[in-house]
Amino acid sequence: MADGKYTAEDIKVLEGLEGVRKRPSMYIGSTGKDGLHHLVYEVVDNSVDEALAGYCKKIIVSINKDGSVTVEDDGRGIPVDPHPTLKVPAVQVALTKLHAGGKFDKKSYVISGGLHGVGVSVVNALSKKLIVEVKKDGKVYIQEYSKGDPKTKLQVSGKTEGTGTTITFWPDPEIFSTLNFDYKVLETRFREIVFLNAGLKIILTDENKDKKEEFFSAGGLIEFVKWLNQSREVIHKPIYFKKESENNTLEVAIQYNEGYQENIFGFVNTINTVEGGTHVSGFKTALTRVINDYAKKTGMIKNGESLEGDDVREGITAIISLKMANPQFEGQTKTKLGNSEMKGFVDSIVTQSLLEFFEENPTIAKKITSKSLESAKARLAAKKAKDLVRRKNAFSFGGLPGKLADCSSKKTESTEIYIVEGLSAAGTAKDARNKEIQAILPLKGKPLNVEKSNPVKVLSSEEIANIITVIGTGVGEQFDINNLRYGRVVIMTDADVDGEHIKTLLLTFFFRYMHQLIENGNVFVALPPLFRVRKGQKDIYVYSDEELKKIDGLDNAIITRFKGLGEMSSTQLWDTTMNPKVRKIKKIFIEDAVEADRVFSMLMGDDVQARKAFIQENAKEANLDV
């Protein structure tokens, strides 16, 4: 197009799976760690669909020493007979064509987790090598691919009595920035899958770490809520019900605990709908109505009073698992259910089932309603605390805390607020910063542990109130991302035990009261160096013990260990930790909301033994000065 002409010759048609390789992030989200693991989920989801259809009982997933992953199931096996129009084996069509599979006519799979029929073909496109093996009709069929293209024809390699599909794939290093599969990430996902599909067994093996684990749940959702509440003090046995109607099945498990957090997790065809949707809305509406009706009927509330949604959901852990045909997803991550008819469907079933349960279990019904009434009292007190915070801040300059050193720019996308441990370090940070785009908020002492505090105490805390005011979005139901004052919220603490504790306390607050801020990618952790190594006239800053060991000639270097931010000069702090051009900074994101909830409740709750075990298991991953 050097001559400026734009003709039909300039329109490039990407054949087959070429488009996937050109724009992989469109199909798997990213080419980093998340995208890499998404490949495994796509293959496993096909096997789970076989389980949903009633044909698969066991899935074996192996992380192999050669960098590949093998997924084997005992389902019916992908069809191998010639496709009626394309005249090649159906398995080859499934592996080489986008939007090809048994999910579209709703005959082979009425319900499926694979959303768009792109799964296994995308995995094939993004693998330098893929081998598919199908056991069917007494024979074993095998075929090899590379980067989406068949390298061999489908061949019979032996005889068999069973059925099933085995796929082994080697992710393409030209596509992915990392090729290391994380056992824990897969473990979390597979545990969820078996809870949501009672009776299905998944075996995970990691040959590199010599680890093997078997996931199986006979109790399904009942075991799921118990597992989530294992480090909390529960107030009743789980409430469980399951109802089917045409092609839709709803399963719900509910268990309240003595805590203050609301934990409602929605799933559609085993996919975690992290943004909620119509099924979650229907559940919440029904829950509020039933508890209000019970409270009025038993005289626990009078004079036309009523409980709000927040009141009845305090301390709840609930799983809503919907299995349905033709789910329509929307939202930023395509994980919000949009089918409008599901709100009424879920509302109706939950209302009827909860009313029956409350009638048959008046002791539990009274406990739940009493907790909701206590929550209502706390809500009114929390409203007074919020109003008090607003009045206090009205006396500060511009309605902001007096100790905030604000930046001059008002452009949210380019500004950042550093929440800094200690007045001394904050003073250094104020001198070091770029005043145009970087604001500093000092923290005095350790912030409140919100996991063990009711909302009144949380919102009455001066340090927490300052953070809420400075960020600007509000909290809980009032959260509005459009009011965010800074594009990045950066936690900056010392690299010691106290610093790590403060960091965890702050992350707990953000997760419990402003989780949308994390999901929107606005929360970061600063990574100050642990050491300064002086070699001649040159200073080298080192961020981990492993990095330090790799430096040549350490015996002749002067090594300085930075125990706190305050030990650095403003120039050093800028050069190493605050200069956007050279600093190291970690973005916080929620890999799995269910696992994040469990870890925060365990780390910040009352279960000392569980916390001790977690710390011992993960101690090697932390760089601490103990």
Burial class of residue 19 in the structure, from the number of CB atoms within 10 Å of its CB (0-12 exposed, 13-18 middle, 19+ buried): middle
- 498 catalytically annotated: yes
| CA distance linking residue 513 with residue 593, whole number of Å | 14
Distances (CA, A) of 244 to 234, 249, 252, 345: 29, 4, 12, 11
Q: 341-360 and 278-297 are packed helices; what angle lies between their axes, rounded to 10 degrees?
A: 30
User: Is 496 in contact with 622 (CB distance < 8 Å)?
Assistant: no
Point out the catalytic residue in the list 498, 519, 539, 575: 498
Nearest to 196 by CA among 71, 60, 52, 313: 52
Nearest to 254 by CA among 278, 216, 277, 286: 286
Point out the catalytic residue in the list 496, 519, 539, 625: 496
User: Is 80 in contact with 136 (CB distance < 8 Å)?
Assistant: yes
Task: Scan for tokens 């309605």, then name that residue.
Answer: 399
Q: Say which amino acid occupies 365.
A: A
- SS3 for 121-172 is HHHHHCEEEEEEEEEECCEEEEEEEECCEECCCCEEEEECCCCEEEEEEEEC
User: Is 24 in contact with 31 (CB distance < 8 Å)?
Assistant: yes
Look at strands 201-206 and 58-63 and give their pairing.
parallel
Nearest to 49 by CA among 122, 117, 141: 117
Q: Say which amino acid occupies 475.
A: V
| CA distance linking residue 167 with residue 131, whole number of Å | 6
- 494 catalytically annotated: yes
User: Is 327 in contact with 115 (CB distance < 8 Å)?
Assistant: yes
DSSP string of 251-291, one letter each residue: EEEEEEBSSS--EEEEEETTEE-TT-BHHHHHHHHHHHHHH
Point out the catalytic residue in the list 310, 347, 494, 595: 494
Task: Scan for tokens 């069917």, then name that residue.
Answer: 136
Point out the catalytic residue in the list 421, 451, 463, 597: 421
Nearest to 66 by CA among 126, 17, 127, 24: 127
| CA distance linking residue 78 with residue 90, whole number of Å | 8
DSSP class of 349: H
Enumerate the active-site residues: 421, 494, 496, 498
